[in-house]
């Protein structure tokens, strides 16, 4: 089945070049220069990936990603869609992108080969096992809507952060080994020598903490991660 991608970028030249290159690589690609335009385009079209670049109003693109993750984007987009941000690459900008729920970040000006590689890797990851609704203490992980809340306060997560939390929530208190996380969340049969899991776990802990869920995700040094909570119920 042909994969699809929406490019959200105000610069017409950049937008058209990206759409053209993505189409050459076999994707059903389209571009829009505003969030309003993206909503209109996605009224009956659900892309597999959204690439968010520069817009006239700063922060509008990331606000759109937050709305997608929360399921309130007023569009047909799946809350679990792959979202990649494009920006200047400053540390604060990168952090804001991940906090908004983006799965990856590519520095501008865009090197298409890098974007292509990151997009293909993200699209190739298997869909997370998240068909159930799990309650762990005051934490709710809803696999159907791919949303998370703590005591009714929404927690906006990226696709990988959601996948990591959902995997830990399936077996509260159990230590999930790093090899399992690489295989089940990242889709890697061989665990690379990387701190990617640690970086995502750190962001996940910060977001949960901001919602009042302090200390739920625990690291087991040299082994993996676990979710600590008083009880768990799967619905």
The pLDDT of residue 25: 95
Is a pLDDT exceeding 50 seen at residue 104? Answer: yes
Lowest-confidence pick of 10-19, 24-33, 70-79: 70-79
For residue 163, with 0-12 CB atoms within 10 Å meaning exposed, 13-18 middle and 19 or more buried, which class applies?
Answer: buried
The pLDDT of residue 233: 46
Mean pLDDT, residues 138-161: 87
Mean pLDDT, residues 156-175: 88
The pLDDT of residue 57: 75
Mean pLDDT, residues 57-72: 82
Lowest-confidence pick of 25-29, 93-97, 176-180: 93-97
Mean pLDDT, residues 176-204: 82
Is a pLDDT exceeding 50 seen at residue 129? Answer: no
Is a pLDDT exceeding 60 seen at residue 156? Answer: yes
Mean pLDDT, residues 181-205: 80
The pLDDT of residue 89: 74
The Cβ of residue 110 has, within 10 Å, a number of other Cβ atoms equal to 18
Three-state secondary structure call for residue 150: strand
Distance separating alpha carbons of residues 190 and 182, to the nearest angstrom: 8
Per-chain mean pLDDT for the chain: 85
Instruction: Copy the structure tokens of residue 219.
Output: 């690291």
Q: How far is CA 167 from CA 178, 180, 181, in A?
A: 12, 9, 8
Mean pLDDT, residues 71-84: 82
Lowest-confidence pick of 25-39, 123-137, 139-153: 123-137
The Cβ of residue 170 has, within 10 Å, a number of other Cβ atoms equal to 20
Is a pLDDT exceeding 90 seen at residue 175? Answer: yes
In the beta sheet, which residues pair with residue 32?
8
What strands, in cross-sheet order, belong to the sheet with 224-227?
A: 176-177, 224-227, 217-220
The pLDDT of residue 133: 83
Is a pLDDT exceeding 80 seen at residue 106? Answer: yes
Q: Are 232 and 135 in contact (CB under 8 A)?
A: yes
Using pLDDT thresholds of 50, 70 and 90, give the confidence band for residue 232: very low
In the beta sheet, which residues pair with residue 105?
85
Domains of the chain, first to last: 4-124 (3.40.50.2300), 133-234 (1.10.10.10)
The set of residues, in sequence order, having a beta carbon less than 8 Å from that of 128 and lying 6+ positions away, is 80, 143, 159, 162, 163, 166, 167, 185
The pLDDT of residue 60: 86
Is a pLDDT exceeding 60 seen at residue 131? Answer: no
């Amino acid at each position: 089945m042909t994969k699809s991608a929406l490019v959200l970028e105000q610069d017409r030249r950049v937008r058209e070049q990206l759409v053209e290159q993505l189409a050459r690589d076999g994707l059903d690609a389209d571009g829009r220069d505003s969030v309003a335009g993206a909503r209109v385009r996605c009224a009956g079209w659900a892309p597999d990936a959204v690439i968010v670049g520069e817009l006239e109003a700063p922060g509008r693109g990331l606000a759109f990603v937050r709305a997608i993750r929360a399921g309130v984007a007023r569009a047909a987009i799946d809350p679990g869609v792959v979202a990649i941000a494009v920006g200047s690459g400053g540390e604060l900008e990168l952090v804001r992108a991940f906090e908004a729920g983006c799965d990856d970040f590519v520095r501008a000006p865009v090197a298409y080969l890098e974007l292509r590689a990151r997009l293909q890797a993200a699209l190739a990851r298997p869909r997370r096992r998240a068909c159930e609704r799990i309650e762990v203490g005051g934490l709710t992980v809803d696999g159907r809507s791919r949303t998370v809340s703590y005591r009714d306060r929404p927690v906006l997560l990226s696709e990988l952060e959601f996948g990591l939390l959902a995997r830990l929530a399936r077996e509260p208190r159990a230590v999930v080994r790093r090899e399992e996380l690489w295989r089940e969340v990242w889709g890697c049969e061989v665990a690379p020598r990387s701190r990617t899991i640690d970086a995502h776990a750190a962001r996940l802990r910060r977001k949960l903490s901001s919602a009042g869920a302090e200390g739920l995700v625990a690291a087991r040094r040299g082994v993996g991660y676990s979710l600590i909570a008083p009880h768990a119920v799967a619905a």
